[in-house]
Amino acid sequence: MNNTIKWGILGTGRISRAFAEGLKFASNGNLHGVASRTKTNAEQFAEEWKVPRVFENYQELAQSDEIDAVYIATPHTEHAANSILCMKNKKAVLCEKPFAVNAMEVEKMIGQAKENDVLLMEGMWSRFPPLMGKLREILSSGEIGEIRTLQADFGFRPPSRDPNGRLFNPKLAGGSLLDIGIYPISLASMLMGRPESFLADWHCGPTGVDEQASLIFKYQNGSMALLHSSLESHTRQDAFLSGTEGNILIHKQCWKPQKMTVELLPSGKTEIIEMPFAGNGFNYEAVAFGELLLSGKKESPVMSLAESLEIMSLMDEIRSSWGLKYPGE
């Protein structure tokens, strides 16, 4: 590997295309290969995105000496197996959120990363845009004091309600919590750590997965988070954090963060900060991952393996409180 990472993509769905677009704006990596379960899909994707190398199946890509890093963009249920396959073949892995279906799978992934001494990271892309760096800077300056409450949500109504599609199919670990609820949960984790206790309720849709979820997290210091996910309605998709000395609104869509309003209290001084994406936003996580790989790091300080595991185990506990288990769990 010189200073340019050769990326391979596993799976040719919707988000693979977004990542391929993002890589066009990544200074330290190129899209070199794509693998699909179906050769023609891989060929089509390669033609569309000008990918030099087509692999006939996932294993072939995992074993190829031509690939340095693999982006896993398959349904949640495949993340652990696909990541492990790649790591066993010494590939660095950036695996889409949610990292896996449950904490047991994440533990196996982390174990494999350690055993093979490779870089592994959850693709929580929202952590990497410049605005999030700015947010972390403001918070550590103490300007808004101590965070006491957070309200954040991610809800949308998919036009297709296909019971076999990955959003609603329990066999593909469907439901709002794992797919989109993870964004407000991950934000809360970044800002406030792990809650000491939670209250959670859900609406179980006709396929048996959570079409809506509402969560209240309480932290050891008494701060609280109110989070919501929905596959039934388009919600505000913003995040409002209130500190003892001020507030920050991360504007819609807070999972794609490009604008925030910072209000200092009691002066009422308000600043609007806009940091639009260069590229489609996926470039930031790709570049950050590339920097880690090129410098020989095995995990990210921004999205650590311990935190990914903690988030997953919290989601396990939430699902368990509802009695929601996926087939095979």
Ligand X SMILES: NC(=O)c1ccc[n+]([C@@H]2O[C@H](COP(=O)([O-])OP(=O)(O)OC[C@H]3O[C@@H](n4cnc5c(N)ncnc54)[C@H](OP(=O)(O)O)[C@@H]3O)[C@@H](O)[C@H]2O)c1
Which of these segments, 9-17, 22-30, 130-138, 238-246, binds ligand X (CB under 6 A)?
9-17
The answer to the question of residue 41 lying near ligand X (CB under 6 A) is: yes
Integer CA distances (angstroms), 315 to 227, 259, 274, 295, in order: 13, 28, 32, 32
- How far the first Cα of the chain sits from its last, in Å, is 39
Residue choice 38, 164, 220, 244 for contact with ligand X (CB under 6 A): 38
Tokens of 165: 């599609």
Nearest to ligand X of 101, 144 (CB atom): 101
Nearer to ligand X, 19 or 240 (CB): 19
- Interface residue with ligand X, options 37, 134, 161, 298 (CB under 6 A): 37
- By the 8 A CB rule, do 224 and 217 touch? yes
Of residues 96-155, those binding ligand X (CB under 6 A):
96-97, 123, 125
User: Considering the rule CB under 6 A, would residue 11 count as an interface residue with ligand X?
Assistant: yes
> Using the rule CB under 6 A, which residue among 7, 8, 12, 219 binds ligand X?
12
**Which tokens is 43 given?**
């060929």
According to DSSP, the β-strands at 210-218 and 120-123 are unpaired
Angle at 179 between CA 177 and CA 182, to 5 degrees: 60
Binding mask 57-96 for ligand X (x = CB under 6 A): ----------------xxxx-x-----------------x
Alpha-carbon distance of 151 to 225, in angstroms, equals: 6
CB of 45 to ligand X, least distance (A): 7
Question: Rounded to an integer, what distance in angstroms lies between the CA atom of residue 167 and that of residue 159?
Answer: 11
Residue span binding ligand X (CB under 6 A) among the ranges 5-13, 203-211, 233-241, 244-252: 5-13
